[in-house]
Structure formats: C-alpha cells, structure tokens
Amino acid sequence: MSDITFYVLPTASQHERYVFTCKLIEKAYRTGVFCYVLTDDNAQSQRIDDLLWTFRAGSFIPHQIYVGEAPAIPQVLIGTLPPPKDWQNTVLNLSSNCTTANRVLEILDNSEATKATGRQRYRQYKDAGHELTTHKM
C-alpha cells in the first residue's frame, strides 16, 4: 500500500501551491530523496522548473523536465508522463489524476477547483485501501 499525504494550503493561490511544492522538493533533496513531480501539462512542468531556480536565493536543486528518458545521474524529475521506475519512491502530485508510488504527496491550494479534484482523488485512494494523512497548513 502507498502512503498518501495531502497538504491543504490556506490560500487559493496557485503560485503559493507551486512555491510550497518547491519547498517540499528541497526538503526531499536535502534528505537524499530524488522525487518525481507529476504535472497536468507542459506549462505546469515548466512553471515548477522555473520556480526551482528562483523560489529561494542560493538554493540549488538538480532537476530536469522528464520526457521519457531517465537521466544517468539522480535528480528531481518533473513531467506529465508516469515516473520512471527509479523515481517511484516519492511522487509529488500536482496533476488532476491519482498516481502510484511508495509515497505520494498531494499538494492542494484552497481554490474550489483544486479542492474538488483533490476530494475525488482522496476518495479513489481511500477506496483502493491506501493509508491517508491530511495536513492543513
């Protein structure tokens, strides 16, 4: 069973959702975890890619947009495709769909659209028997 954690942010700001995602990526990277960030589309992938360079002064997190070929050197991957095998331990899910991994982090802002799709994914994960945790930030 996967460990699914929902982070519910107090703001409806999509930008704040992405910044929070970058902070989680940074935390994972500092502990030696190379995660996969699953997005809905290329524009969302590019936004996370750009923010990883700018969200915190002096921060460096090796990352790239995944287009189907896993890099030889471990790093954070961002993309719309399912994560490659070696990146299935931790997935940060910004997409509208459920995903599978040992650990899935679902980051939701407080907008009605994001909350609605988040609730739907929560039910799907619960019905599949996954262990769920929710953190209201």
pLDDT of residue 100: 86
Reported as a single tens digit per residue, the pLDDT across 6-17 is: 999 999 999 999
Q: What is the pLDDT of residues 40-59, one digit of tens each?
A: 999 999 999 999 999 988 88
pLDDT-based confidence at residue 128 (cuts at 50, 70, 90): very high
In sign, the C-alpha dihedral spanning 60, 81, 28, 15 is positive
Residue whose C-alpha is closest to residue 6's, from 124, 85, 87: 124
The architecture (CATH level 2) of 3-136 comes to: 3-Layer(aba) Sandwich (3.40)
Q: Where along the chain do its domains lie?
A: 3-136
Q: How far is 72 from 23, CA to CA, in rounded Å?
A: 24
**pLDDT tens sequence across 70-124:** 888 888 999 999 998 877 789 999 999 998 899 999 999 999 999 999 999 999 9
Burial profile 48-65: b = 16 or more Cβ within 10 angstroms, e = fewer: bbebbeebeeeeebebee
Nearest 10 degrees: Cα torsion 51, 56, 61, 65: 0
Computed over every residue of the chain, the mean pLDDT equals: 93
Residue 88, pLDDT score: 72
pLDDT band at residue 132 using 50, 70 and 90 as cut-offs: very high
Closest CA to 82 of 127, 74, 93: 93
pLDDT attached to residue 53 = 92
Indicate whether 22 pLDDT > 80.
yes
